[in-house]
Chains A and B, each alone.
Chain A
Amino acid sequence: MDITQQPDHLPMRPYRSKSRTDFRYKALSYLCLMLIGMTMIVPFTWMISTSFKPKPETRRANFFPQEATTENYAYVMTETELPRWYLNSIIVAVMSTVSVAFFDTLAGYVFAKYQFPGKKIIFIMFLSSLMVPTEMLVIPWFIMSVHPPIGPTWVDTYWGIAFPGLITATGVFLMRQFMQGVPDELLDAGRIDGVSEFGLFWRIAVPLSLPAIGALCIFNFLGNWNAFIWPLIATSAKEMMTLPVGLQFFSSENGSDWHLIMTGASLSVIPLLIIVIIFQRYIIEGITLTGLKG
């Protein structure tokens, strides 16, 4: 409406020059991104390339191995505990992810949909645990694992590796945010129909928050898969190590056998990278969600 009253020079603004600088910025962006992207990719490709080289060839800097061999892979898969470490990592990550998916969702649901005395204090107690870094807790956890309240030692057991991560404050907070969007009318209608309180959670709230639960699961799985300091402390037997701990152990043992170390690294990294590439959209969404709101 006011366009006619704008200063004369405005509509005359040279759109072409604007689009030309736009183009220049775009080209520059692509160039820079390409260069930085290269530095992101090269270490991975170099790792893979080295893993196919026989030992003498690691001293030469050719990218494509002249005598490509899969012997390194055969060696690492049969002569080391790597398959076992894989299994351990999967067991621990699945165990904690299932627990987190259930308990974080349930706790988030209760904080979002129930009124009860002490709610605020309990919620603050949960959240305050975010302030305490893992590093401060690993020593007490270790003492607790050596002398557990009941039963034999937790050191070198799956439970011992997984227990600190079975419920997470970030997850509870995230699910509370999400559960607030579940309509009360739906829950009350369920109540009138005689659905049990757990049934309301399981059959109404959970199906409505599957996307958030999915993001939480992926995020938690990744976190557990790469967790290092506690699994390092909680395991001493070779056959109980998780993948990162095992890789650290194996690599320090094989000092200068870079072809083997890179094979171990490739084996531990590539399957996860494939999964990440497939699920990248959800993972990035999950990180944005937990990142921005945590």
Chain B
Amino acid sequence: MADMIVGEQKANRTETQPGLFHLTLTRRKVMWAYIFLAIPIIFFLYIRIYPTLFAFQMSLYDWNPLAAEQHFVGLENYQTLVEELSSDKSVTRAAFVNTWHYVIIGMPLQLVLSLLIALMLNEIRALQTIFRLTFFLPFVTSTIAVSWVFRWLYQPQIGLLNVMLKAFSLPQQPFLRSPDQALYSILAVIIWQGLGFGVIIFLAGLKQIPRTYYEAAEVDGASRCQTFWNITLPLLNPTIVYLVVLQSISFLRTFAQVLAMSNQGDGGPLNSTTTVVLRVYREAFQRLNMGYASTLTITLFAIILIVTIVQLRLTTRSTE
């Protein structure tokens, strides 16, 4: 019985020469796939995966790049983080609270504003390209250049904004110099710069809504408000979820603007603008406290991961 099957297989193999050729072709293709992917695989393992694991490892050490040997401290860095987060006066707590403010105020404002602009752009024909370009330019400009331009606009007395306030005989504002206003001044710049991205994504989303829906609504005599709430908004849902996540993550990572716009790049005045990433930068590269800085980045990573997972949940539900 067994002999017969083997015999049959042998017969099959000798009979189908092209199949044999096919087999070697498949094998050859597999070989070439691995050859083509060799460098990318090594790259991702060595430049992405390994450093990720390395960051986790560093967070368990009292890591100082200048020391000859690194001390394993277990979860001590995480303990320090929890202690700092629960103490009112700590810079780390300020960094997390500020970052939360950047996200929770900045993200919705940016979202609503860019949706409004996209809706208006969608309304018009003439000059659409030029307007779109106008909103888009800040987005492709270097953040550092933008930040310094606004730092100049925000200057007391000689800055354009205070000059304009004076012209309308309104009181002068300290903007970046005041612990109460600095965060919002920086936030305004981030929103200003990021609007264009939201506008472009929303425009693309609006274009995907079939015209027939609007025609049907018009035939039914729906008002503009009704059309917006019942057609545009629900159909834009995937775009909105996508932007909420992307913008939240980008606000969570706020760094360059604060470095460029606060005095000495210290997240001042009085730590009122400092962020988690700025804290990471200063801990790691100015105080050389890399173990603790890694702990902070892992916390940030965890937050971003949660935001992403919530998005995946939401989008899969909305497409069901």
Contacts and interface: CB of A to CB of B under 8 A. Distances in A.
A, B assembled together: yes
Interface of A: 10, 13, 18, 21, 25-26, 28-30, 32-33, 36-37, 39-44, 46-47, 50, 58-59, 61, 103, 106-107, 109-110, 114-117, 119, 122, 125-126, 129, 131-144, 146, 163-164, 166-167, 169, 172, 191, 197-198, 201, 222, 225-226, 228-229, 233, 243-245, 247-248, 251-252, 258, 261-262, 265, 268-269, 272-273, 276-277, 280, 283-284, 287-288, 291-292
B144 A131 contact: no
Given A114-B30, A245-B144, 4 more contacts: A33-B120, A140-B51, A228-B255, A280-B136
Contacts of A141: 47, 51
Given A222-B140, A244-B142, A284-B200, A164 B47 contact: yes
B256 A228 contact: yes
Chain B contact residues: over half helix, strand or loop, or mixed?
helix
Contact of A26 (B65, B123, B146): B123
13 contacts: A44-B149, A106-B40, A117-B30, A133-B249, A135-B253, A139-B293, A163-B47, A197-B36, A244-B256, A265-B145, A265-B149, A268-B145, A276-B136
Contacts of A277: 133
A291 B135 CA distance: 17
Contacts of A243: 142
Interface in B201-259: 201, 204, 218-219, 221, 224, 242, 246, 249, 253, 255-256, 259
Contacts of A146: 65
Given A10-B219, A61-B160, A61-B163, A225 B142 contact: yes
B280 interface: yes
B72 to A, nearest CB: 16
Contact of A129 (B44, B120, B280): B44
B29 A114 contact: yes
Contact of A258 (B123, B144, B155): B155
Interface in B284-320: 284-285, 290, 293-294, 297-298, 300-301, 304-305, 308
B121 interface: yes
Contacts of A129: 44, 48-49, 52
B308 A131 contact: yes
Q: Which 8 A-B pairs have the closest CB atoms?
A: A140-B51, A114-B33, A29-B120, A129-B48, A136-B297, A140-B54, A61-B163, A197-B32
Contacts of B259: 248
Most A CB contacts (10 A, CB to CB) among B116, B144, B255 go to B144
A59 B204 CA distance: 44
A273 B141 contact: yes
Interface string B141-174: 1111110111011010010100100000000000
Contacts of B121: 29, 33
B192 A39 contact: yes
A133 B138 CA distance: 23
Contact of B55 (A50, A139, A244): A139
B124 interface: yes
Interface in B28-53: 28-30, 32-34, 36-37, 39-41, 43-45, 47-52
Contacts of B120: 28-29, 32-33
Contacts, number: 258
Contact of A197 (B28, B55, B242): B28
A44 B184 CA distance: 21
Nearest to B303: A133
B117 interface: yes
A139 B294 contact: yes
Nearest to B135: A40
B70 to A, nearest CB: 10
B78 interface: no
B19 to A, nearest CB: 16
Nearest to B249: A133
A46 B154 CA distance: 12
Contacts of A26: 123-124
B197 interface: yes
A132 B45 CA distance: 13
